[in-house]
Structure formats: C-alpha cells, structure tokens
Structure 1
Amino acid sequence: MLITIAILLISAVFFVNGKVRSDLVALCALILLLIFHILTPGEALSGFSNSVVIMMIGLFVVGGAIFQTGLAKMASSKLMKLAGASELKLIILVITVTSVIGAFVSNTGTVALMLPIVVSLAHGAQTSPSRLLMPLAFASSMGGMMTLIGTPPNLVIQNVLTEAGFKPLSFFSFLPVGIICVLTGMIVLIPLSKIFLSKKGESKNKKGSKGKSLNELVKEYQLDSNLFRIKINENSLLINKTITELNIQKKYGINILEIRRIKAPQTQFLQTINQHLADPDIVLRAGDILYLTGDFDRIERFAENYYLEMMDSHETEELNDRGQKALDFYDIGIAEIVLMPSSKLINQMIKDSGFREKYNVNVLAIRRKREYILKDIKDEKMHNGDVLLVQGNWNNIARLSGEDSEWVVLGQPLAEAARVTLDYKAPIAAFIMLLMIVMMVFDFIPVAPVTSVMIAAILMVLTGCIRNVEAAYKTINWESVVLIAAMLPMSLAMEKTGASDYLSNTLVNGLGSYGPMALLAGVYFTTSLLTMFISNTAAAVLLAPIAMQSAIQIGVSPYPFMFAVTVGASMCFASPFSTPPNALVMPAGQYTFMDYVKVGLPLQFIMGIVMIFMLPLLFPF
C-alpha cells in the first residue's frame, strides 16, 4: 500500500513540475507498479484496451473529420453571429452550448465534437483557443450533472441507491444540481480564464506560419481574375475526345486548369466532385466542367465552336458551392518552386521540362523578379532564380520535394493541403455525427457508446470526410491517449492494495461524529481529492457504498451524500488526467499541468463549498 501511494505522490510531483512529458511520467509509474508486482502485466495494460481510451481515439478521428469537412467552421460562424467578437460572450456561449450537449452525450464525446468548432470559433474571433478550451472541458463535466446519463458516476449512485432499497432517481433528478454547477462554473471561470490562461498559443502559430497560403497564391498570380467555367452538354463535340486531340492551347491560346466530374448525381446528399488535371489522355464526358484561363473572347469562341455552355458566376456544380467561380484544392493543389543555379532546366523551354511526364504536374505561371508570366508559357525558357507555379494532385506535389538539387519547394504545401476543407462532404459528416449522437443518447438502440464512436470514425474515413487513413491517424493525439491509458490502472492498484479504502475510511468515518454537514463535507472533498489521482468512475465506485453506510449509521437520508459523491467525482478540474475531457484539450490549448492547478483548483474548491450548502436544500437530511 505504501509503495502505491509513494508512486502516486512521485508521479504527482513530476506532473506538477512539467519538465517531463506527462505521458512518459504515466508510463514510468505503470512500469514501477509492474516492477514491484503490484499489478500483473494484464492488469497494467488493461488501460490500453479500456473503452474510454478506444472511444478517445475514435473521437479524435471524428473531430478531425468535422474540422476537415469545414463543418466546424460552418457551426462556428453561426455561433459567431450570436457572440460577435466579444470574448466574454464567447466564453458564456461555449459553456452554455457545451453544457446542454454534455447533458445527453458523454463528456468525452461532447469535447471531441466541440473541440474543432471552438478552435475555429477562436480563430474567427482572433482570440487564443487556450482561453476557450479549458472552459469547454470543464463545461462538459458540469453539463453531465444535468441528467442521469450525463456522466458514469450518476449511474453508479443510482445503482447503489436501488440496491439498498431506496427510491431510484429519475432522468432529470440531477437537473437542479447541474444548473447550479453550470452557473457556479461560469461565474468562476470568466475571471480565472482571463487572468491565468495566457495567449501563448498565438505567438507559436504566427511563428509557424511559413510560406504563402493557397488563397494568397491564387491572388498573387491572378488565377481567378481570368478564370472561366464551361460545361460539356449532351450535344457537345468534345464528348469522347482527349485534350491532345483538341490541341486547345495552340488553336485558341487558352489553358485548361482542371476538369471537374460529378459522381453519383442521382443521390445529391452523397454527391461527390472529382477533380482531374488536364491530362493529355483524359477522355472528356458529358457533364464535365472545364476550368479555363485566357481571354474571354477566345474562350467564348471555343465554347461556340464545340457547343459548350458558359457557366456564369452564380451557377454551381455542387450542392454547397459558394455560388461563385473559384479554384478549390480538394484533390489538386498548387505550389511554388524556385530553380537552383545548378538546375538542368535552366534555358530549357517549359514544354521540354518534363514536369508533366516525370511528375504529372503542370506549370501554370512563372514569376521572374517582379514580372509574372501567365500566357503562352509553354515556349518560355526558364532562367536561374525563376519561381514556377506548379499544379498537380497533392501526392505529386509532395514528390517535388525530393529534387533538392534542381529546385526548392517554397513554403509547406502539404501543410496547406491539410487546411483545405472538403466542404462538399460537410452534409455527410453532419449526418454521421448526428447518427453517432442518436446511438449514444437513446437506450433502445442496442449499441454501446464506444461502438457508436468506432462506427462513426470508420464511416468518416470510408465516405471520404477525411482524406485517407494516414490523415485519420494524424488526427489522433497519442500523448493524451497514452496518458489516460497508463493512469487508468492506478485506480486498480489502489484498490488491490487497500490504499483507497484506507484513505476514504479514515477521512470519512472520522467526521461522522461532527454531524451530517461535516460528514457531507468529508464525503465531498474526499471524493474530490481521490478523483485527482484516479478516474471519476473509480472514485464514485469506491466512495458511494461508504457514503451510503455513513448516512445510514447517523440516521439521515443518503440522497445528499450520494449526490456529494457524484458531484465530487465529476467536478474535478485541478488535474489534466482526472477526466478524459481535461486531457483532450491539453495539447490543443498548449496547457501545462500548472494551468489546471491555477484555474481548476480554485473552481474545484469553490464548487465544493457551494455544493455543501446547496445539496441539503435540494435533498434534505
């Protein structure tokens, strides 16, 4: 028992110190429990197969898809209209919305769903995400107190009460307690977050933004100023012809930037737009949309000669298009490369460069000092120091980085690609997210919450709401996953060695003679203290039977004591690993362990004082 407590205390010291990564500290603690034979290998590794950990991994993927499809940005823009640019209104709005969702969805699920939305919201309001993410995590736990299914400790006390023969709690028995928690949290968090949650995330982001964004490149090279769209109709002469056969560049002096092809038009909800480069061998079909650059008169003549339809700026080819002609970068991207002095391409013409044959990319323009060459570039010779604007699918653009002796790729095109939202997939992502929430909320659907999340994560990948499996893996924050998985067996160690029983019995039973109010305070703060080191569910399981027996022994109603256990277990904010939501926001908010202590500990203490006085009023002794 003493060894377990010593390992727990040493881990806490390192967590507070913050000089060693939190996941490494948790793994070292786990190894020590194995070395001292406190846990078996199976018990020590049980955290990595725990449903909470698996759910976290799935929710990272779901959250990544919500962000990737632009659904987060859409939701945040609607919330922005309510809050404006006021940071105070933003915090109130985030806490309110998160609390309402958290009443019906697990706090882990709530945070994972809201996280990308809140980050997008913060960027839109030009405020630091760190100001909003910790209130988000805390609000999810506070909202969980509103209903029976909001958080696992609520179900634990329900089970203890019914087994002891007491009247079970109803679905909304928790609502008054939850409302008090949310209001208390809001009042305390507004000043604390402003004082202690610094804007350190902003400077990092600014320093890290190297190179030009895709929109900046489009504006600089004026790609959208002479961009036109033409649709191939059923009677067009282009059908079944290749780009090579048409020889459009030579005949009309215009360029085809890309071809868009709509898949499954009969099912608008699942409608998908495929982007294709103007490959010489691609066979054109009816319904294809050509993106062209060049003089309007030449493009108009080309359209008339081949019976093509000129599309105006308000005619859209996709369900949620922005209603204007625009270059999108779902599959195809652009990047700048600067030629090296030793490059073999110097003094070669663009048409002889081999970009198309070797790398399957097109050269759209040349920037030579302050001059931009956009027309008839195929016969242009390349000079030392020329910057070429190239276009291709993202994988081929990535291959260009391997030719360091010939050129240097400017900026971080793949990082820019990751920021491109697949906005035409947003309805699918919204449907999958709604399906996940429905499966988690309604008991008559025989699917476990972790299964719901796994189904949603797989569907996000299969439907293309996230680019590929590799992109899905990149959305997962493995530090948070390992931290929670390695700390979960700590509660098992404390239970096996009797450390948790010893601590709880000593603290709670010693206060019984001082009256129900003192005992209630002892139950609450003992639970709150234990939850800082073990999971809230484990703390509720350990203390609920003790609190029940203590209440019966002094002859008072057990209900306020049961609520003291569940609120004390759920309202733990002073540690990043006490609840999954606290851990989820840690990397995104760039928080340290001490940030949780500065903001969470005062909130946790104030919440306890309020509850000790309010619970006897709501549930008399």
Structure 2
Amino acid sequence: MTLDLVLVLGFLAAAVIMFAMNKPRMDAVALIMITALPLTGVITMNEALAGFSDPNIILIAALFVIGEGLVRTGVAQRLGDWLVAKAGRSEARLITLLMIIVALVGSIMSSTGVVAIFIPVVLRVATNSGIAPGHLMMPLSMAALISGMMTLVATAPNLVVHAELVRRGHQGFHFFSFTPFGIPILILAVGYMLFARRWLVQAPKPGEAPAAPPPTRPSLTDWVEEYRLAGREHRLRVKPGSPLAGRTIGEMNLRGGAGANILAIERGWRFSRRLIQPRASSELSAGDILLLDLSEGAPDIDAIARDYGLERQILTGAYFSGHAQDIGMAEVMVPDPSPLIGRTVIGTRFRSRHDVTVIGLKRGREAVEGNILNTELELGDTLLVIGPWRAIRALHDAREMIVLNLPAEFDEAPPAASRAPFALLSLGVMIVLMVWGVIPNVQAALIACLLMGLFACVNLNAAYRSIHWQSLILIVGMLPFSIALQQTGGVDLAAQGLLAVTGEASPRMALAAIFITTALLGLFISNTATAVLMAPVALTVADALGASPYPFAMTVALAASAAFMTPVSSPVNTLVVGPGKYTFMDFVRMGSPFALVALVVSVVMTPWIFPF
C-alpha cells in the first residue's frame, strides 16, 4: 500500500465519518473533498472538477425538472386520487395499489419527490379509512426505493454505474435494462408487506404526544358543512339532442329559469378531460358534463334533467371536492368602502369579472339560507366563492373585497393542471427517444425539459428551484475518489480483497459479496456515493474473472437501491419516519429480511439476464 493510497483512504474515511454524523451537510463534505484531494498530488484540480462536465449530472438535473412538471400539472396527484377511489377501505388493496403506483411514478421521477407527494395522500387515506399510518408509510418508502430498479433514469446510482461502463468502453445499459429485476422484486415486496405489516406495532405509547394538530386553515369539507352546501351539487351530461347543445349559457339562462348555477364544464376524454370556466358566451356541446349548484327552491333535479335533455352522472366527494385539483374555494369579506355594498349577489357579476361564482353567504357568524342570489350585500358580509385555482389566486388583486381564508387544499393545488396532457406528451417523447437510442439520454431529457417549458408545464423559476443541487454536488464531489482510487491502486486492492474472500471460481459468490458490500456501505453514506465507489471495484472484479462486466455493474445498481435497513440509508426512509411514527429498529426489523430477499433475487437473476 503506497503513501498516496493511504492519503486517499484517509480522506475517504473522513468523508464517511462526516456523512454518518451529518456534520457538516453532505454537499459541504463533497466540496471539502473536491478542494482537499488535489492537495495530495494524486489527482489534479481539473480531474477533481471533472464531474461538473459529466453528462449524467446534466441528465439528473433535467430529470428533476421533468418531475417538477409532472407535479405542477397534477399528474402525480391524480394518480393519488385514483388510488383513493380504487382502494376504498381495504388495507391490503391499498398497500398493493400504493406500492405499484409509487414504483411506476418513481421510475420516471425522483423517488424522494414521489414520497413527498404521496405522504399527505397516504395520511388522508389513513384518516378516512381508520388505518394506522404506520401500516402504509413503510410500504410507501419501500416501493419508492424499488422504483430505482425499474428504469435507467429512475435513480442516480443507475446513471453512475451506466457512466462507468461507458467510460471503460462498454455499451452501457438501455432504458429498460433494469425492469426485469424491478418487477419481480416489486411483486415480492408487495407480498412481503402484506404479511410483515403486522410487525409494525402502532399501539399508543404511555405519555405519547398526540398526533400532529389539525391544519389551521379550514378545509373544503369544513366549508361544505358550515355553509350547508351538501346536497346542492349535481353532475349532468348533455345528451345528444338536448336543447342546450349548440346554445350558449347566456341564451339558456339556467340560473334565472331553473335556479341552476353552472360552476364548471367538463369537456374531453380521460387524461385530456379539462374543466372550462363557464361564461355567458360559452357554447355547450353534446357530451359536455355540467357541474351544477342547485339553489334552494329550484325545481327537482330530475325535472331539470328531463326538461333540458341531461343525464345524471356519478359525483365523487362532497360538493365537488373530488375536483379539488382543478377548482377551489375562498372566503372573501365585503370591506368599507366597497362598491359591492347595497348590490345583490347576482348584481356583483363575480363570474364575469373574477371567474368565480358566489355559492355561500354569512352575515355575522351565521350562514344565510335559501336563494342568496338576490340578497343585498352589507358591510362585513362574508362570501364563499368557487372557481379555478388561478382565479382564486387572483382574488388578492381585487380591491372591492378582502380575501379572508384560503382552504388547506390551496397549497396542494397544481398551478398548471390544464397542461397535464402536454406534460405526459413531453415525458413520452423522452422515453421514446431514450428507448430508441437515436440520441444520447441527456439530449432526450433536455428536449423533454424544453417541451415542458414550451407547453407552460413548468417555468424557468420553478425549474431552477426543482433541481436538488445538494444531490448533484454530492455526486460531483464523490467522483474524484473514484479517479484517485483507480490511480493509486485502491480499486485493484478492493477487487483483490473481494476475490480473496469469494474465490475466483465462483462468479455468483463474487456478485453476492459485491451486493453485501454495497448495501453495508450504503448504511453510512448515500447510495449515490456508494455507487461511485463500488462501480469501478465491481468492474475490476469482472475483469479479473474474465467475465462480462454487465452482471457485476447491475449488482451494484440493485444493491444501491436496496437501502431498506435503516432510516438514514436513504432520504426516502427519513421522510416517512415522522408520519409513520417509526423507530430505528422498525426499519431494521422490516428492512433487513427484505434486503436478503433482494440479494437472493439479484444473485439468481442477474446471470440469467446478463450471462457471465
């Protein structure tokens, strides 16, 4: 062992200790190592900074932006809503669907981002169904980790291993090279969690603090009860031959003639379905679905449906709460002075001026019952309005009223929900280009980012904010260790050590040793940093055995994603500790057995798909 290698290993040990202590932050440790390693003379400063020019760094940044586009357009949230609708109160069905959806979504965007999106969804489902949150949060984190085994772009370690293959002159992995491993591991994980969830004891502990306090903001459900809106909501489809088809809302005057207030119009099919804000000039078509508010004293809904050629449709959620991603509510107050004072609700022309509709009125603390449209407004009256979220946001600029309250759902509302089809199109273009392989992966991702921007799925400010710079700096900071260990013989030494333990005649034993070493190293440092260090070691072992590099590279990638064993093995695990009320030992008890399952699957399957 040379002095240079001793120095490099000393810096590596220092980095691991700082990672384990989380002092300073991991990205700060990476910057320290970029600065310190050239001082040993083993690598130059240009080599230490080479990671900033690595195409995979740009690719990872682009994938963060694409994930942000899926969030801002509500694609990820819609999957969560679908989960709620399909799972019902069955815990087994909920766990199964949750893990499948999270794994699929995580295969094309950041697993950490997926978990952040689904935590509030899972908590809401747990509250409504009476299921302990701890029975759902662990499956959520496990599925997010397994999503890294689904596609090439699912997680940074995959790209690191792929880049090491390319750097050594090999072809590299394809987009779906990981999928044959991810699918069986996901199936086994679902079965495992359905059985092992009973090990997660969720009985309250003596003196345990109560769960998180309810949100300070009212929810849409609170307002439905407070303003007595339940039962007024209806969803009806315009049938072919209806007298409404081909006519404008102003011509029909449903509000004045039938007491039916059109709050929104659903138009399109499935993912392309969108909500249109109704105006007097809006022309209705056969197949449109009307979201109606029927005021007290209006004709029976069946009579309206019969007279106007409408067909009643299924409605989910109290008072259109199932459409909370597209339409929201707000409470506004009539101040002094205001031109609204003395005018009737219908005379304020809220819909034409602000794209919102008044559906409730409180005078003092009591909600005014009956038909409020002809009620004259007084100083201090509180109005409940409904409309698209963009219009709700714009109410702050209206001088004739004061926005009192925004609902708890306001923060979850995607700001570009109408652009969801374009976000899916951009994502599809990227996947097709990557699978086709006609251009580099990073170029395909950049094209998708530009399409996201062109279609207004994401703006530049949101794009820059979405990039997790700490992760990028961490990868860049660990890459010099890979170079330094190779130049000083550290990689060869590690490979010889593995071969000495396993023997040169047993490639499968070598795969098992690589998996175990990678997984254990991942207990102390991030899985990305682990992949940076272990990928060259694995490929050197392959060279020594005269075997194909692909099974060894794949083993490193799979082991890096098998970070199930402790809450600090991955940010994905750390995120669910609080909501799931887990302890350190919960992860050890649940994660360790399944890490062994992943080890067996990897060692058995890898040579089948990538022969030695």
TM-score calculated relative to the size of structure 1: 0.64
Query: Aligned with 2:492: secondary structure?
Result: helix
Note if 1:546 corresponds to 2:540.
yes
Q: 1:60 to 1:588 in 2, by over 3 A?
A: farther
Q: 1:344-363 residue pairs with structure 2 within 5 A?
A: 344=338, 348-350=342-344, 359=354, 361-363=356-358
Q: C-alpha offsets along residues 472-512 of structure 1, whole Å, 9 cap, x if unaligned?
A: 9389754xx21221012234311343478543333443575
Q: 1:618 to 1:411 in 2, by over 3 A?
A: closer
The equivalent position to 2:480 in structure 1, one of 493, 502, 519, is 493
Say if 2:107 and 2:151, in contact at 8 Å, map to a contact too. Answer: yes
Say if 2:161 and 2:532, in contact at 8 Å, map to a contact too. Answer: no
Unaligned runs of 5+ in 2: none
Query: Aligned with 2:385: secondary structure?
Result: strand
Q: Aligned equivalents of 2:291 and 2:193: distance in 1?
A: 57
Q: 1:596 to 1:357 in 2, by over 3 A?
A: same
- Following superposition, the deviation at residue 389 of structure 1 comes to 0.8
Note if 1:16 corresponds to 2:20.
yes
Say if 1:130 and 1:198, in contact at 8 Å, map to a contact too. Answer: no
The equivalent position to 1:55 in structure 2, one of 63, 71, 76, is 63
The equivalent position to 1:387 in structure 2, one of 378, 382, 389, is 382
- Following superposition, the deviation at residue 469 of structure 1 comes to 2.5
Q: 1:463-502 residue pairs with structure 2 within 5 A?
A: 468-469=457-458, 473=462, 477-478=466-467, 481-498=468-485, 501-502=488-489
The equivalent position to 2:215 in structure 1, one of 203, 209, 213, is 209
Unaligned runs of 5+ in 1: 553-557
Residues 28-37 or 55-64, more deviating: 28-37
Letter in 1 for 2:371: K
Say if 2:475 and 2:529, in contact at 8 Å, map to a contact too. Answer: yes
* Residue number in structure 1 paired with 2:310: 311
Q: 1:341-420 residue pairs with structure 2 within 5 A?
A: 344=338, 348-350=342-344, 359=354, 361-368=356-363, 369-384=365-380, 386-401=381-396, 407-412=402-407, 415=410, 418=413
Q: Aligned equivalents of 1:197 and 1:397: distance in 2?
A: 40
Say if 1:258 and 1:291, in contact at 8 Å, map to a contact too. Answer: yes
Say if 1:106 and 1:151, in contact at 8 Å, map to a contact too. Answer: no
Provide the aligned C-alpha RMSD in A: 6.3
Query: Aligned with 1:45: secondary structure?
Result: helix
In the alignment of these two chains, the number of paired residues is 566
Q: Aligned equivalents of 2:96 and 2:469: distance in 1?
A: 32
Q: C-alpha offsets along residues 318-356 of structure 1, whole Å, 9 cap, x if unaligned?
A: xxx86999584565532113456x665796444576867
The equivalent position to 1:571 in structure 2, one of 555, 559, 563, is 559
* Residue number in structure 1 paired with 2:438: 446
Say if 2:65 and 2:463, in contact at 8 Å, map to a contact too. Answer: no
Q: 1:164-243 residue pairs with structure 2 within 5 A?
A: 206-207=212-213, 209-223=215-229, 225-227=231-233, 243=250
Q: Aligned equivalents of 1:605 and 1:270: distance in 2?
A: 36
Q: 1:412 to 1:563 in 2, by over 3 A?
A: same
Note if 1:138 corresponds to 2:148.
no
Q: Aligned equivalents of 2:299 and 2:491: distance in 1?
A: 84
Query: Aligned with 2:361: secondary structure?
Result: strand
Percent of residue pairs bearing the same amino acid type = 15
* Residue number in structure 2 paired with 1:555: none
Q: 1:62-81 residue pairs with structure 2 within 5 A?
A: 62=70, 65=73, 67=75, 70-75=78-83, 77-78=85-86, 80=87
Q: C-alpha offsets along residues 506-525 of structure 1, whole Å, 9 cap, x if unaligned?
A: 34435756671899477565
Q: Aligned equivalents of 1:271 and 1:178: distance in 2?
A: 29
Say if 1:71 and 1:426, in contact at 8 Å, map to a contact too. Answer: no
Q: 1:430 to 1:501 in 2, by over 3 A?
A: same
Note if 1:505 corresponds to 2:492.
yes
Q: Aligned equivalents of 1:21 and 1:132: distance in 2?
A: 28
Q: 1:356 to 1:20 in 2, by over 3 A?
A: farther
Say if 2:328 and 2:389, in contact at 8 Å, map to a contact too. Answer: yes
- Following superposition, the deviation at residue 541 of structure 1 comes to 4.4
Letter in 2 for 1:17: M
Letter in 1 for 2:540: I
Q: 1:130 to 1:460 in 2, by over 3 A?
A: farther
- Following superposition, the deviation at residue 589 of structure 1 comes to 6.8
Q: C-alpha offsets along residues 410-432 of structure 1, whole Å, 9 cap, x if unaligned?
A: 1446726607996x998887787
Say if 2:185 and 2:601, in contact at 8 Å, map to a contact too. Answer: no
Q: Aligned equivalents of 1:156 and 1:513: distance in 2?
A: 27
* Residue number in structure 1 paired with 2:91: 85
The equivalent position to 2:265 in structure 1, one of 255, 260, 263, is 260
Letter in 1 for 2:559: M
The equivalent position to 2:50 in structure 1, one of 43, 58, 65, is 43
Q: 1:253 to 1:610 in 2, by over 3 A?
A: closer
Q: 1:608 to 1:539 in 2, by over 3 A?
A: farther
Q: Aligned equivalents of 2:543 and 2:260: distance in 1?
A: 82
- Following superposition, the deviation at residue 216 of structure 1 comes to 4.0
Q: 1:548 to 1:68 in 2, by over 3 A?
A: closer
Say if 1:231 and 1:310, in contact at 8 Å, map to a contact too. Answer: yes
Say if 1:69 and 1:426, in contact at 8 Å, map to a contact too. Answer: no
Q: 1:86-165 residue pairs with structure 2 within 5 A?
A: 86=92, 120=121, 123-125=124-126, 126=131, 127-128=133-134, 130-141=137-148, 151=158
Q: 1:417 to 1:310 in 2, by over 3 A?
A: farther
Q: Aligned equivalents of 1:543 and 1:68: distance in 2?
A: 37
Q: C-alpha offsets along residues 249-291 of structure 1, whole Å, 9 cap, x if unaligned?
A: 6x658363435374xx6xx567544422446xx3655657584
Q: Aligned equivalents of 1:232 and 1:172: distance in 2?
A: 48
Q: Aligned equivalents of 1:597 and 1:522: distance in 2?
A: 25
Q: Aligned equivalents of 2:359 and 2:383: distance in 1?
A: 8
Say if 1:350 and 1:377, in contact at 8 Å, map to a contact too. Answer: yes
TM-score calculated relative to the size of structure 2: 0.65
Residues 23-32 or 53-62, more deviating: 23-32
Say if 2:30 and 2:478, in contact at 8 Å, map to a contact too. Answer: no
Letter in 1 for 2:310: M
Q: Aligned equivalents of 2:301 and 2:369: distance in 1?
A: 23
Q: Aligned equivalents of 1:9 and 1:617: distance in 2?
A: 31
Q: Aligned equivalents of 1:394 and 1:113: distance in 2?
A: 23
Q: 1:390 to 1:204 in 2, by over 3 A?
A: farther
* Residue number in structure 2 paired with 1:335: 330
Q: 1:19 to 1:113 in 2, by over 3 A?
A: closer
Say if 2:259 and 2:294, in contact at 8 Å, map to a contact too. Answer: yes
Q: 1:57 to 1:41 in 2, by over 3 A?
A: farther
Say if 1:346 and 1:381, in contact at 8 Å, map to a contact too. Answer: yes
Query: Aligned with 2:91: secondary structure?
Result: coil
